[in-house]
Structure 1
Amino acid sequence: MADWKANLLETDDRIRDLLATVKRVAVLGIKTEGQADQAAFYVPQALARAGVEIVPVPIYYPDVKTILGKPVFRSIAEIPGPVDLVDVFRRPADVAKHVDELVAKKPRAVWLQKGIRNDAAAEALAKAGILVVQDRCLMVEWGRLGPG
């Protein structure tokens, strides 16, 4: 499995190719409208405005039933159907807690937001055949490299 490093996307061309095919994004660690000034809310909000289907997966806010008008799921595993990309808003040390459920769900890609890097988790995901982007803002890269 020496080629797993090919699943770590670091160049604009590879990221552009990924973004061109993304239609459904689960957001792990999404915030609510009450935290609209935080990236974990306004990044998925911007993607939704760009036509991306957002699937909210908050870590906190147990009483919240919808975010961005979409039903909330309490884990990646609960999400019905396929997911193109999981956008992760978790502290770097907390990413490892989600590796098993991410591998089980098998999204095409996992995106660790700006400031989030966990090389061990990225390696595990990449070895499972999942594309991984680390330490980049999905909203910024979508605007720079994404479709439309």
Structure 2
Amino acid sequence: MSFENPSREEIKEILASAGNIAVVGLSDNPERTSHMVAKAMQERGYRIIPVNPGKKQILGETCYKSLLDIPEPVDIVNVFRRAEEVIPCAEQAVQIKAKVFWLQLGIVNEQAAQIASEGGVTVIMDRCIKVEDAVLQPRK
């Protein structure tokens, strides 16, 4: 059985109820896609929690070495890593009881999706969270 993303309506509900978004692979370089997407989401009212072991702070928020180090609940784990590097992220998303494991546009890993899904975490792959939020949650 092949993977299928949740419906647009389900994604809209996920975004409407989300508060904390842990961004794995968030760069402090404003030219990088991860930085632009996370900044836009932060400006739209989401709390961004950077996960980058090499940095102390990004976008005014404390960075964590891994998802396991985050001391508060995480609604969405948004991943900016190569597809072959996301399995540990899926395992950690399950461990921290995240609600959603979201792989950004261009990132697909069926094994990671299976790990997260079997752990009770909703999986979204190959979609840009910023685009989905802009389309499904228009702001006035």
How far apart, CA to CA, are the structure 2 residues paired with 1:110 and 1:130? 6
Tell me whether 1:78 sits opposite 2:74 in the alignment. Answer: no
How far apart, CA to CA, are the structure 2 residues paired with 1:145 and 1:84? 18
> Tell me, which stretches of 5 or more residues in structure 1 are unaligned?
none
TM-score by length of 1: 0.87
TM-score by length of 2: 0.92
Aligned residues: CA RMSD: 1.4
Q: CA deviation at 1:121?
A: 0.7
Considering Cα pairs closer than 8 Å and 6+ residues apart, tell me whether 1 or 2 has the greater RCO: 1
> Tell me, which stretches of 5 or more residues in structure 2 are unaligned?
none
The residue that corresponds to 1:15 in the other structure is: 11
How many residue pairs get aligned? The number is: 137
The residue that corresponds to 1:41 in the other structure is: 35
What CA deviation, in whole Å up to 9, does each residue of 1:82-110 have, x standing for no partner?
Answer: 10101000000101132322211110001
- Runs (4+) off by over 4 Å: none
Greater helix content? 1
Q: CA deviation at 1:51?
A: 0.8
How far apart, CA to CA, are the structure 2 residues paired with 1:147 and 1:26? 22
Secondary structure class of the residue paired with 2:41:
helix
- Residue identity matched to 1:10: P
The residue that corresponds to 1:94 in the other structure is: 85
Secondary structure class of the residue paired with 2:105:
coil
